[in-house]
Amino acid sequence: MDANNIIEDNTIVGNANGIFMTSGVHGNIVRNNLIVGNPPVQVSVDHTSSSGFDIKNAATAGTNTFGGNVCLTGVNAPCPALAPPNNTLLIDELQSLGCGSYPPTASCKLTVNQWNYYLTMDINPNAPVLDFGSDGSQLMTVQEYVQARQDAGI
């Protein structure tokens, strides 16, 4: 893995390390993976000096995107023990596509039309677009966009 890869929808269990990203890698997206038991429990109990991680990110912070993964141990990567809610996954994906950053920031605002574009072109072509009652040029953060979709019942 070096640059601009997408690692998604995998189950990674029972390895020395689940996902390992070395220094220098960038532009990768790691999302919606189940990554647990790396290393397996017995290995980590018997060989405490060589413990691994579900996600080990040795790359410069912020150069790769992580979202929606379920894992227990991580270095420089978020590892929630429970699955994140669907809105969190959508926010993470839209933020990465529209703003090229993670986590979401208030300084990144796109128009409703731009958020609709990323949603329907890159995430789900069958998703209904948000009709905000204007020409779609209103600027908003990804959180405001997702909340407006919820408020509209979509």
Mean pLDDT of 25-46: 76
- Say if residue 153's pLDDT is above 80: no
Dihedral angle of Cα 75, 71, 28, 32, to the nearest 10 degrees = -160
CA distance 113 to 135: 8
Write the single-letter amino acid at 127. Answer: A
CA–CA separation, 140 and 143 (whole Å)? 8
Is the pLDDT at 62 greater than 70? The verdict is: yes
CB 52 within 8 A of CB 65: no
For 111-146, the pLDDT digits (tens) are 999 999 988 888 888 888 888 777 888 999 998 888
Q: What is the mean pLDDT of residues 65-83?
A: 79
